[in-house]
Amino acid sequence: MPDNPPPHGPADPTACPGPCGGTRPPGKYVCPSCWHRMTLVTRAYLKKQDDLAIERYQQLVEQFGRGVPPCEIRVIRSRWEWDRGGAR
Ligand SMILES: [Zn+2]
């Protein structure tokens, strides 16, 4: 089963959005180094392919842009959590 590429990547599609300055494999959100530094919960949510996948990726990039380390990245699980302002 092929991976779905992230819907909105940075200008360089191979650049990892994390603090590593590295590159990410095709079809992945981040490089393996950053991926393995994120929590299991965050990784599990990011792997979900539902209608919030784009928003989770945008949250990931936004937090990396603010200098949040990979281990502290949080993304929403569900629309319910989004409405309640969870994961903020
Ligand atoms: Zn990285």
Q: How far is the CA of 73 from the centre of ligand 1 (A)?
A: 13
Q: How far is the CA of 77 from the centre of ligand 1 (A)?
A: 22
pLDDT tops 90 at residue 13: no
Q: How far is the CA of 26 from the centre of ligand 1 (A)?
A: 13
14 vs 12, higher pLDDT: 14
Instruction: List the one residue out of 77, 21, 37 whose CA is nearest residue 12.
Output: 21
Q: How far is the CA of 67 from the centre of ligand 1 (A)?
A: 12
pLDDT tens digits for range 38-51? 999 999 999 999 99
Can you list the alpha helix ranges (DSSP code H) found in 1-88?
A: 32-37, 40-47, 53-65, 79-83
How high is the pLDDT of residue 27?
87
Q: How far is the CA of 47 from the centre of ligand 1 (A)?
A: 16
pLDDT tops 90 at residue 18: yes
